[in-house]
């Protein structure tokens, strides 16, 4: 069988002490099962000239190949175009995009830099799987160098409609670069349909079928592949984790109060500020909840060097202080706000011990926290997932309490509903979700994508 080559902005080399991110959790099962090469940025930024070498490290049956970035490349490619332009626009936030042609140049330059190092490692029959918005032009860079490998692309975050994506400066150069892939995959059918509309409206390329189009002498296919979680494995982890000292101490500190949990990276797309306002509405509109429920919000800092993120962190801290100051008592703090990451076992135990989870992003490609919370629950006495209808996970978690995160009153009422929901209803809602998540376990996700890439006639769930 042809070797699998995964390419992503960051490479998830294990045993580095940090909790694996969503992309790493999604990719690793496919690589562990088949072996192969994982190529990308090392995370190191060189102050001077970058060594023109690739670091090679092998663990189990996976080879990790990483390169460093120069300081200017990091600033223009990562902090600049990827996080100040693509991230906000792809999350429907045109108002936050800060475009400069210098940053666009850095973005294209780093993709060329990746291609120049990756091609030295490629074999003619390798199947290449490129991940996420950082590397949209990578296939074109490889094609321009004469590589004819099967190359697939999967975007983990949303893809907005043409009415938004065309506001991206130079979109007519950047988005059509995706046509150099053989398969372009999305989290939801809405995202795939948005890309299809862009291809039809802006590129005018002829369609081969309802889910593929002609580009030169090749056919490019579009598919939907919602990322899952290790459903059964996470459930086992949660059952063990509730017995750990860490989780027991947290529960003991609640003094019998119900716990609501939120776990999000610090990012404006997660809607944390509006969520806090919704919890405040719960305390305002439902006085019996005061002193009876504690909201634990775990929010590791991210991208602190970007001004918008540091300002958001200050605003959220101020909001937490305001709510705790207004409603708190010497014996009860309404919100516990923590800015550090926790291990998967710790989070699994906390999920299982929480009466409800607040997962209310303003826009999210999928959101694996929602799925992990469902997987962690005791089916005999499950908690309730309160989920934004704008998260990709809402498609599979249809029996969660789906909410509009912009409506603080409605979210506050949903929290009250979750806390008072009868056991039979909680069991029924959870049963429906866990069935879907088990059928779409992460171990099947990579297989479906790779099977579709290798055998184009088997595209499933594709958008027209």
CA distance 441 to 457: 23
CA distance 146 to 390: 40
Residue 12 main-chain phi, psi, to 5 deg = -90, 70
* Whether 90 contacts 132, CB under 8 Å: no
Name the residue among 255, 292, 231 with its Cα closest to residue 440. 231
Catalytic member of 131, 134, 156, 430? 156
Tell me, yes or no, if 364 is annotated catalytic. yes
What is 211-278 written as a DSSP string? Answer: TEEEETTEEEEEEE------HHHHHHHHHHHTTSHHHHHHHHHTTT-EEEEEE--S-GGG-HHHHHHH
* Whether 169 contacts 96, CB under 8 Å: no
Catalytic member of 364, 416, 430, 441? 364
Name the residue among 340, 355, 344, 342 with its Cα closest to residue 235. 344
Residue 11 main-chain phi, psi, to 5 deg = -100, 130
CA distance 235 to 374: 9
Residue 4 main-chain phi, psi, to 5 deg = -90, 125
Residue 341 burial (C-beta neighbours within 10 Å; 0-12, 13-18, 19+): middle
Tell me, yes or no, if 455 is annotated catalytic. no
Paired strand residues for 185: 154, 223
CA distance 354 to 364: 23
Distances, alpha carbon 62 to alpha carbons 3, 34, 55, 124, in Å: 11, 9, 14, 19
**Residues recognised as catalytic:** 156, 364
């Amino acid at each position: 069988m042809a070797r699998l080559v995964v390419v992503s902005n960051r490479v998830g080399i294990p045993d580095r002490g940090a909790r694996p991110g969503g992309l790493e959790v999604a990719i690793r099962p496919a690589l562990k099962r088949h072996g192969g090469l994982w190529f990308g940025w090392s995370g190191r930024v060189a102050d001077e000239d970058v060594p023109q070498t690739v670091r090679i490290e092998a663990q189990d049956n996976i080879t990790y190949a990483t390169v460093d970035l120069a300081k200017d490349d990091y600033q223009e490619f990562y902090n600049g175009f990827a996080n100040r332009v693509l991230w906000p626009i792809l999350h429907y936030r045109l108002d936050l995009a800060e475009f400069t042609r210098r940053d666009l140049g850095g973005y294209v330059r780093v993709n060329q830099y990746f291609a120049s190092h990756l091609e030295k490692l490629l074999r003619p029959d390798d199947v290449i799987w490129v991940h996420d918005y950082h590397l949209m032009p990578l296939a074109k860079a490889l094609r321009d160098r004469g590589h004819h490998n099967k190359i697939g692309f999967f975007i983990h975050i949303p893809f907005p409609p043409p009415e938004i994506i065309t506001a991206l400066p130079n979109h007519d150069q950047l988005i059509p670069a995706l046509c150099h892939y053989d398969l372009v995959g999305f989290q939801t059918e809405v995202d795939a349909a948005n890309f299809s509309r862009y291809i039809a409206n802006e590129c005018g390329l002829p369609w081969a079928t309802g889910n593929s189009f002609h580009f030169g002498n090749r056919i490019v296919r579009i598919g939907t592949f919602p990322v899952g979680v290790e459903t059964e494995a996470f459930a086992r982890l949660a059952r063990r984790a509730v017995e750990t000292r860490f989780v027991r101490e947290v529960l003991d500190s609640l003094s019998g109060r119900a716990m609501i949990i939120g776990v999000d990276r610090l990012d404006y797309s997660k809607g944390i500020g509006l969520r806090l306002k919704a919890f405040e509405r719960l305390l305002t509109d439902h006085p019996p909840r005061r002193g009876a429920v504690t909201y634990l919000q775990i929010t590791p800092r991210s991208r602190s060097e970007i001004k918008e993120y540091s300002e958001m962190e200050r605003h959220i801290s101020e909001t937490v202080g305001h709510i705790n100051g207004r409603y708190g008592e010497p014996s009860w703090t309404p919100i516990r706000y923590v800015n550090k990451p926790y291990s998967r076992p710790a989070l699994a135990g906390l999920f299982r011990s929480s009466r409800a989870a607040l997962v209310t992003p303003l826009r999210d490609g999928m959101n694996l926290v929602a799925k992990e919370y469902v997987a962690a629950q005791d089916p005999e006495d499950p908690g309730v997932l309160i989920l934004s209808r704008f998260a990709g996970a809402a498609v599979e978690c249809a029996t969660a309490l789906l909410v509009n995160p912009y409506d603080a009153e409605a979210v506050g009422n949903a929290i009250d509903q979750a806390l008072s929901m009868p056991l039979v209803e909680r069991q029924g809602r959870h049963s429906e979700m866990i069935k879907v998540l088990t059928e779409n376990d992460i171990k099947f996700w990579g297989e479906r994508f790779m099977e579709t890439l290798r055998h184009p006639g088997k595209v499933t769930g594709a958008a027209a």
